[in-house]
Amino acid sequence: MKRIDAARLRAALVRPAGPYAELDVVASTGSTNADLREALVGGADDRTVLIAEEQTAGQGRRGRTWVSPSGSGLYCSVLLRPSIPLSGLGSLAPVAGLAVLDALRAVGVEAVLKWPNDVLAPLPSGEGYGKCAGILSEAAASDEQAVILGMGLNVKAQRDPVPPAPGGLPAVSLSELANGPVSRTAVALALLTALDERERRWRADGGDLGAGGLISEYLANCVTIGHEVKIMIAGAPSLVGEAVDLDPNGALIVRTAAGELRTIFAGDVVHLRPVAE
């Protein structure tokens, strides 16, 4: 198993040569997001990056576990301190999704987005889509506004079966999709380079996806739009309708059977018919 090359990443990405304040790669931790929440309290700088070879308590949305065995994936979190309106923080996950697509294309993998935080790719069998990456964006308590952005990518196929994502989507790895080995260092470099470019643009636009055209890019790559969906919201009845648009703050707009437009800020989305390739 080849480890992630921390020295190469620092040389390319950490100031003064690169855009990030600090970058560390650890052999094992509970959760990179949790570690950066602690680092935030200790005064860690904007654009601090933590990558783990393994997570023993990896986090997904709504308290789920992100399976994170050693050497199989890229488990990366970034601490950001953007000076934008609070209402704009929800649009960071779509921006990260676009950065993940950029990184996958850089290593020869084509993928699409599923709102709010999944990255999907056609299964090698040709039978539908699998989940190859996920995003977790969390506002964090601090003396100033901060966000912890977690990104998990399945790079190597795992020996043990991985529980399917909401909606029954199986996990798929980049090595399976690329029909050969994929360097986790190369993926990390491509991902953090793309995130720098897209997050910088997002920050300049005050978190408004529509201001600089990011919303158009997201819609063009999101298979949820135009789909009949069921949205499961914690503590509320499920909502069924057609996903028709994204608002500038990253919320999904759904048209119900009665023609009512509903704005959904968070929830698990199940596509009610297979995603066409």
My answer on whether 162 and 30 are in the same domain is yes
8 Å CB contact between 168 and 177: no
Query: Does residue 242 sit within a domain?
Result: yes
Total domains, the chain: 2
Query: Does residue 88 sit within a domain?
Result: yes
Phi (first) and psi of residue 259, to 5 degrees:
90, 5
Q: What's the pLDDT at 62?
A: 47
Query: Does residue 114 sit within a domain?
Result: yes
The burial class, CB within 10 Å (0-12 / 13-18 / 19+), for 242 is: middle
- CATH code of the domain in which 267 resides: 2.30.30.100
My answer on whether 215 and 181 are in the same domain is yes
Model confidence at 180, pLDDT cuts 50, 70, 90, reads confident
Q: What's the pLDDT at 271?
A: 84
Q: How far is CA 167 from CA 36, 163, 267, 269, in A?
A: 30, 11, 12, 7
Range of the domain at 78: 6-219
Q: What's the pLDDT at 244?
A: 94
Model confidence at 277, pLDDT cuts 50, 70, 90, reads very low
Query: Does residue 277 sit within a domain?
Result: no
Once rounded to an integer, what is the mean pLDDT over residues 167-191? 90
Q: How far is CA 67 from CA 111, 151, 164, 185, in A?
A: 20, 12, 11, 19
This prediction's pTM: 0.91
My answer on whether 61 and 144 are in the same domain is yes
Query: Does residue 1 sit within a domain?
Result: no
My answer on whether 17 and 63 are in the same domain is yes
Query: Does residue 86 sit within a domain?
Result: yes
Percent of the chain's residues with pLDDT above 90: 67
My answer on whether 129 and 254 are in the same domain is no
What pLDDT digit, counting tens, does each position of 90-140 carry?
Answer: 899 999 999 999 999 999 999 999 999 999 999 988 778 999 999 999 998
Q: Of the segments 98-102, 160-164, 229-233, which one has the largest average pLDDT value?
A: 98-102
My answer on whether 214 and 243 are in the same domain is no
What pLDDT digit, counting tens, does each position of 52-77 carry?
Answer: 999 887 655 444 555 567 778 999 99
Query: Does residue 51 sit within a domain?
Result: yes
- CATH code of the domain in which 42 resides: 3.30.930.10
Q: What's the pLDDT at 140?
A: 85
Q: What's the pLDDT at 214?
A: 93
75-81-82-84 Cα dihedral, nearest 10 degrees: 120
